[in-house]
Amino acid sequence: MIEGERDLPLFFMYFVIWKPKDKFTSFSNVLFAFEKDAIEFAKKSVKRKIEWDVVLYNNENYDKYWYK
Can you give the residue range of the structural domain that contains 38? 14-65
Residue 20 CA to residue 49 CA, distance in Å, equals: 10
Residue 23, domain member (yes or no): yes
Rounded to two decimals, the pTM is: 0.76
Classify residue 34: in a domain, yes or no.
yes
Q: Do the domain assignments include residue 4? A: no
Q: Is residue 42 part of a domain?
A: yes
Residue 67: name the closest of 13, 26, 30, 38 by CA: 26
Is 50 inside any structural domain? yes
Residue 7 covered by a domain: no
Could you report the per-residue pLDDT of 42-63, keeping only the tens digit for each? 999 888 888 999 999 998 988 8
pLDDT for residue 56 = 93
Q: Is residue 8 part of a domain?
A: no
Number of domains in the chain: 1
> What pLDDT, in 10s, does the model give residues 13-51?
999 998 888 888 888 889 999 999 999 999 998 888 889
Q: What is the 3-state secondary structure (H, E, C) of the chain?
A: CCCCCCCCCCCCCEEEEEECCCCCEECCCCCECCHHHHHHHHHHHCCCCCEEEEEECCHHHHHHHCCC
Supply the pLDDT for residue 28.
87
Instruction: Determine, yes or no, domain membership for 35.
Output: yes
